[in-house]
Amino acid sequence: MKLHKYIEQVLGNKGSISVLRTLVDHKGRIFTIRRLAEDAGISHTEAAATVGDLEKLGIVQVQPVGKAYQISLNKKSYVLNKIIEPIFKVEQNSLQEVISILKKNLISKKIVSAAIFGSVARGEENEDSDIDLLIISNDHDLAIEIVSKIMEETSLMFHTKVSHIIFSEKQLRSKRNSDLINSIIKDHILIAGKELVDMTK
């Protein structure tokens, strides 16, 4: 294998990344090409070509069994252990990093409750999705100031926007039967303060 400038071959396209993510997420499992393609969401042909490339780099091991092939990660691979797995670990920790930023800024006696909702909370976001944030506070000016700090930090770190809604406790209670509040209560990640469902009883 190459020992200089080989990252392009490892992470060359979306198909390669999908295959690698699937293998890393299910480390220890043995795949057929067909099953790997299904789980990675790519075609059988693309999966076979990707596995061939990864085998050349020593990242996967391919074992013929009859007319099929069994694919597994090479757990001793330097590239796997030092490059691929750390990259996916950072990816997996991205939401937790965002939550840490929010918690750091939202821990205040004047913030009654705060929660992420929408596509991020459901794990269904895309490249254009904002972080939807609900804040319950009786001090609107303070809440706006906090949101401003959060927006600056998340924009620099994750190149993402924060779309916020600020309600007082009274406003939340008055809207407790609305579709918006019901959908937020159904799917949200509590960041700070009281549980939303307890505040709408």
Q: How far apart, in Å, do the first and last CA atoms of the chain sit?
A: 63
Judgement on whether residues 61 and 132 belong to the same structural domain of the protein: no
- Its domain, for residue 32, covers 6-76
Judgement on whether residues 115 and 46 belong to the same structural domain of the protein: no
Nearest Cα neighbor of 57 from 16, 15, 14, 88 is 16
Judgement on whether residues 72 and 107 belong to the same structural domain of the protein: no
201 residues of the chain, pLDDT tens digit each: 444 455 656 677 888 999 999 999 999 999 999 999 999 999 999 999 999 999 999 999 999 988 889 999 999 999 999 999 999 998 888 999 999 999 999 999 999 999 999 999 999 998 889 999 999 999 999 999 999 999 999 999 999 999 999 999 999 999 999 999 999 999 999 999 999 999 887
Judgement on whether residues 67 and 105 belong to the same structural domain of the protein: no
Find the CATH number of the domain harbouring 139. 3.30.460.10
Strand order in 31-32's β-sheet? 31-32, 68-73, 60-65
Spatial distance between the Cα atoms of 34 and 51, rounded to a whole number of angstroms = 11
pTM, 2 dp: 0.81
Judgement on whether residues 112 and 186 belong to the same structural domain of the protein: yes
Spatial distance between the Cα atoms of 162 and 148, rounded to a whole number of angstroms = 9
Find the CATH number of the domain harbouring 40. 1.10.10.10
Q: How many domains does the chain have?
A: 2
